[in-house]
Chains A and B, each alone.
Chain A
C-alpha cells in the first residue's frame, strides 16, 4: 500500500468489526487532510466522493473484478490450448495422428519480455511518485506540480517501452510470416497468434490508459483524479506484464 494523502491509521475499516459482523461500519475517513483541509469534511460529501482514499480503492476494486474476468478469458484459452495440444485423430488407416507441430518462437520475444518488465518498473516508479507526500505538500503550498512532473516523465517512459514491446511483437509476427507460419498453418500456430494478439490488444488498452493518464496529469487540477488515473493504469499495466510472462513461458516451454 503506497503512502496516500490519507494517513493510513485513520482508515479503521479493516480493523473494527472483525468477529462481530454487526458492528457499525466506522465512518470512512473523516479527517482526510488532502486538499480538503480546514473545515471541509469529506465525510459530509455524498457516498463515493469522500476523499482520495475512497475513490482510489473504489477504482482498484473495480479493476480487481474486471481483471478477474479477464483472467477467466485467458484461462479458457489456455485450457483449450492444453486439450488441442494433446488431441489428435485416427487417420484412414487407424493410425493415431497428432497434427500439433510446436511453433518455434522468434528469439525477439525474449527481448520484448525484458522490455515489458522494465516498462513495469518505470510504471511503478510513476505510481509511487504520485503518492510522495513531500511533492503533494509542495503542490498544495503552490510550488508548481511536482507530482505531475515526476510521474509524467516515468509514464512517458513506460508508454515508450510499451510501444517498443508492441513493435517487437509485430516484428515477431513478421518473422514467423516470413517462415510461412501463419495463423491457419497448424494448431500450435493458432495459439501462438491467438495468445500474442489478444495480449497485444490488452496492451493497446493499457497504452490508451497511459495516454489518458498523461493527459489527466496535465489537464486535471484535482490531485485525487490524477492519482486514481495513474494508479489504476499502472496496476493494469503490471497485471498485463505478469500475464505476458505467464503466456510467454507457456508458449516457450509449454508446447
Chain B
C-alpha cells in the first residue's frame, strides 16, 4: 500500500497511526502529572523536578492531544474510513483525494501542536479550553506566546481537516449506499458516524471562527474577547473596547460540547452492533436507537451553556441550559436500556470484542449518571472545575470512548488483517483495563467532592486552610496515581497481542463472528445489494441471514 494512497483503508490506517502517536504521548504526559501530584518532590528522570508552568503545559497538551487527536480522530476518521464504505456497500469514499488530503492535514496539525513543546517559553498553559484573556497575551504567562500560537495554528488546521473529512463522510453515507441500503437497514455504526460527522461540520466551523477572532486579538490589536482596561502583568492591554471573555466561552463551548458527542457516538453505534451480534439477537428497538442517536446529536448542539453556570452567565440562562442538559439524559438512558434489553437472558458469546462492548456499557452508565448531577446549576456551583468533573468526563468520554476503540480493534482485526487476535490476551487486557479505569477515575469523584480543583500543580507545601483541605486528599492521590500507572501497563497485553497476531501465519476465516453487516461480505466484482436489515439471527439454531445474502440462511452448524 503506497503511503500517498487515496484508498480509504490507507487513509484510515493513517488516521489510526496519528492517534496512536497522540495517545502514547498523551498517556506519558498524564503519568507525569499523576506522579507529580502524588510525590511532588520526586524529580522526573532526565527532566528533573516539574515546575508549575510545566505541569500546566502537561495538562493542556494532554487534553488537546487526547480530545482532538485521539477521541475525535480514531473513532470517526480512523475506523470510519476503514469500515464505513464496506458497511454501506460502497467501494470507496465519495472524494478519495480530499479524504487523503485531510488526513495529511491532521498529521500536520499534530506536528504543529507538538512543536509547541520546543518553542521558547514552552507549550501553552491555559488548558484545552484556552480561555481569554489568559490566552490573549504572551504577558499572561510562559507558553502563552509562541506556544499558544502553535496551539492556535494546530487546532485551526485540525478543524479544517476534520470539517473536510466530515463532509466526505456525510456525502459517502448520503450518496454511495448500495442498492437496498435504506434508512432502517443502515447499521447503527453508520448512524453514529453520520451524526458525529454532521456535528463536526457544524461545530468545527464555529471553533474556527473563534480561533480566528482570538488570533486577531493576539496579533492585530483586536478586542473581541479583551475587556476594556484589562491589566495583565502590569501592562494595560486594551483601552477602549467592547470585548468580553464570555464570548469566547460561548463560541468555544458551542463547539466543545458537540465535540464530546463526536467522540462517543461512533462507540455507541459499534457497541449496539457488537452486543447484538454476540448475543445473536436483533438490537432491541432498532428504530428507537436511530432516533435517539439523532436526538442526542440535535440536543448536543443546544446545551453548551452548562459549561458556564458559574462563569458569569445569567442565572436564567443557567436554568434554561440545565433543562436542555437534563433532557439529554433521556435519549442516553434509552440507549442503555436497549443494550440491557438486548443482553437480557441472552447468554452471549464473550469472545474478543464482546467484553469491551460490555465494558463500554458499564463505563457509559457509571460515567453518565454523574451527568445529571453536574447539569443542575446549584450542584455545579460546588462541583464546577473540581475533579468530580474530571472523573465524569474521563469515565464517560475518555474511558468509554477508548473501550469503543478497543472493541473496534478486536472486532475488525480479522477483517483488516486476516489474522485472529488471541482470546486469552484479550481477556487479560480487558480485565486489566476495566479494573484500572475504575480504580483510577472513581476516587477522583471523591477528591472532587472534597473540593480539589482542576489544574492544581501542587496540593501541599503551602500554609493556610486551603492546603489543609487539599492535603486531606493525599492518600487518594497516591492511590489514583498507582492505579493510573497500572492502567497504562494494562495496555501491554494489547501490544503483545497485536504483534503476535501480526506475525502469526494462522489465517482468519472470512466471517469469524458470523456477522450480518456488509463489511464482512466476500469481495466480489458485481455490485453490492442489500436485502434486509442487519442482525438477523435464528433463535433456534446458529443460522443467520447476512444483509447481502439474497436467500437461505447460512447455518454454521451444518458447515
**Do the beta carbons of A25 and B242 come within 8 Å of each other?**
no
Chain A residue numbers with a CB within 8 Å of B228 are: 89, 97, 99
Q: Verify B167–A43 contact, CB threshold 8 A.
A: no
A87 touches B242 (CB 8 A): yes
Q: Mark A37-76, 1 if CB is under 8 A from B, else 0.
A: 0000001101110000010011001100110111111111
| Chain A residues whose C-beta falls within 8 Å of the C-beta of B242 in the assembled complex | 84-85, 87-89, 98-100, 187
Chain B contacts for A65, CB-based, 8 A = 166-167, 170-171, 201
For A97, what are the chain B residues with a Cβ–Cβ distance below 8 Å? 228, 240
> Nearest Cβ distance between residue B288 and chain A, in whole angstroms?
14
What separation, in Å, do the CA atoms of A187 and B210 have in the docked complex?
16
B202 lies within 8 A of A72 (CB): yes
Contact A44 B241, beta carbon cutoff 8 Å = no
Check A62 against B206 for contact (C-beta < 8 Å): no
Please pick, from A26, A54, A184, the residue contacting B222 in the complex, using a CB distance under 8 A: A184
Q: Once the chains bind, are B206 and A190 in contact (CB under 8 Å)?
A: no
CA of A98 to CA of B203 in the docked complex: distance in angstroms?
31
Interface: B182 (CB within 8 A): yes
Q: Which chain A residues border B220 with CB–CB below 8 Å?
A: 183-184
- Contact: A17 with B182, CB < 8 Å? yes
Q: How far is the CA of A24 from the CA of B182 in the complex (A)?
A: 7
Out of B174, B176, B204, which one reaches A69, CB within 8 Å? Answer: B204
Inside 8 A of B91's CB, which chain A residues have their CB? 46-48
* A61 and B171 in contact, given A46-B91, A68-B202, A73-B205 (Cβ under 8 angstroms): yes
> Residue on B with the closest CB to A23?
B182
Name the A residues within 8 Å of B183 (CB-CB).
Answer: 21
| Chain B hits for A25, CB < 8 A | 177, 179-182
Complex-state Cα separation, A249 to B508, whole angstroms: 63
> A76-B251, A184-B222 known; A69 and B205 CB under 8 Å?
yes
- Min Cβ gap B352→A in Å is 30
Residue A83 at the chain B interface, CB threshold 8 Å: yes
What residues on A are CB-neighbors of B185 within 8 Å? Answer: 22
Is residue A215 within 8 Å, beta carbon to beta carbon, of the partner chain? Answer: no
Across the interface, do A48 and B210 meet the contact criterion of CB distance under 8 Å? Answer: no
CB-nearest residue of chain A to B169:
A65
How far is it, in angstroms, between the C-alpha of A93 and the C-alpha of B229 when the chains are bound?
Answer: 13
Closest to B162 in A: A69
B167 touches A87 (CB 8 A): no
Is B348 positioned at the interface, with any CB of A under 8 Å from its CB? no
Count of residues in B whose CB is under 8 Å from the partner chain: 56
Check A205 for interface membership: any CB of B closer than 8 A.
no
B95 within 8 A of A: yes
B178 within 8 A of A: yes
Closest chain-B Cβ to A250's Cβ sits at a distance in Å of 15
Contact residues in B for A24 (Cβ distance below 8 Å): 179-180, 182
Which residues between 188 and 204 of chain A lie within 8 Å of chain B, taking CB atoms? 190, 194, 198
Q: Is the CB of A183 within 8 A of B221?
A: yes
Q: Determine the chain B residues whose CB is within 8 A of the CB of A100 once the complex forms.
A: 242
A98 CB to closest chain B CB (Å) equals 7
> What 0/1 readout, one digit per residue, does chain B (193-206) give for beta carbons within 8 Å of chain A?
00000000111111
Judging by beta carbons under 8 Å apart, are B241 and A99 in contact? yes
B532-557: CB near A (< 8 Å → 1, else 0) gives 01000000000000000000000000
Tell me which residues from 211 to 256 in chain B have a Cβ below 8 Å from any Cβ of chain A: 212-213, 216, 220-224, 227-229, 240-244, 247, 251, 254
CB within 8 Å for A84 and B202 given contacts A23-B182, A48-B94, A73-B209: no
B511 within 8 A of A: no
Q: Check A80–B213 contact: CB distance below 8 A.
A: yes
Contact of B216 with A190 in the complex, beta carbons under 8 Å: yes
| Any B CB within 8 A of the CB of A243 | no
The answer, yes or no, to whether A142 is at the interface (CB within 8 Å) is: no
Known: A48-B92, A99-B240, A187-B242. A69 touches B163 (CB 8 A): yes
A residues 84-105 near B (Cβ < 8 Å) are 84-85, 87-89, 97-100
Q: How many A-B residue pairs have CB under 8 A?
A: 141
Shortest C-beta distance, B375 to chain A (Å), equals 24
Query: Most chain-B Cβ atoms within 10 A of its Cβ — which of A24, A57, A70, A98?
Result: A24
Do A183 and B222 touch (CB < 8 A)? yes
- For this complex, into which size category does the number of interface residues on chain A fall? 35 or more
Say whether A48 contacts B90, CB under 8 Å.
yes
Query: Are A184's CB and B171's CB within 8 A?
Result: no
Closest B residue to A92 by CB, please name it: B229
- For the complex, is A177 an interface residue (Cβ under 8 Å from B)? no
Minimum CB distance partner of A188 in chain B: B242
The yes or no answer to A19 lying at the interface (CB within 8 A) is: no
Residue B208 at the chain A interface, CB threshold 8 Å: yes
| A68 and B199 alpha carbons, distance in the complex (Å) | 11
Determine whether A2 belongs to the interface, using a CB cutoff of 8 Å to chain B: no
- Report if A208 contacts B (CB, 8 A): no
Q: Tell yes or no: B345 within 8 A of A by CB.
A: no
- Please determine whether A89 and B227 come into contact, CB atoms closer than 8 angstroms: yes
Chain B contacts with A in 146-182, Cβ cutoff 8 A: 163-164, 166-168, 170-171, 174-182
Q: For residue A62, which residue of chain B has the nearest CB?
A: B171
For the complex, is A114 an interface residue (Cβ under 8 Å from B)?
no
**In the complex, A89→B220 CA distance in Å?**
22
> Cβ of B212: which chain A residues have Cβ within 8 Å of it?
194, 198
Closest A residue, CB atoms, query B203:
A72
Which of A46, A62, A73, A85 touches B167 (beta carbons < 8 Å)?
A: A62
B184 on interface, CB distance cutoff 8 Å: yes
Knowing A65-B166, A65-B171, A87-B242, the reply to whether A73 touches B208 (Cβ < 8 A) is yes
Given contacts A47-B178, A85-B242, 10 further A-B contacts (CB under 8 A): A24-B182, A48-B91, A58-B94, A69-B166, A77-B213, A80-B247, A99-B242, A183-B216, A187-B223, A187-B243
B→A interface (CB under 8 Å): 89-92, 94-95, 163-164, 166-168, 170-171, 174-185, 201-206, 208-210, 212-213, 216, 220-224, 227-229, 240-244, 247, 251, 254, 527-528, 533
Interface residues of A (CB under 8 A from B): 17, 21-28, 43-44, 46-48, 54, 57-58, 61-62, 65-66, 68-77, 80, 83-85, 87-89, 97-100, 183-184, 187, 190, 194, 198
What are 17 A-B residue pairs whose CB atoms fall within 8 Å in the complex?
Answer: A23-B182, A48-B90, A48-B94, A61-B174, A65-B201, A69-B204, A70-B205, A73-B208, A80-B209, A80-B224, A80-B251, A85-B242, A183-B221, A184-B220, A187-B241, A190-B222, A194-B216
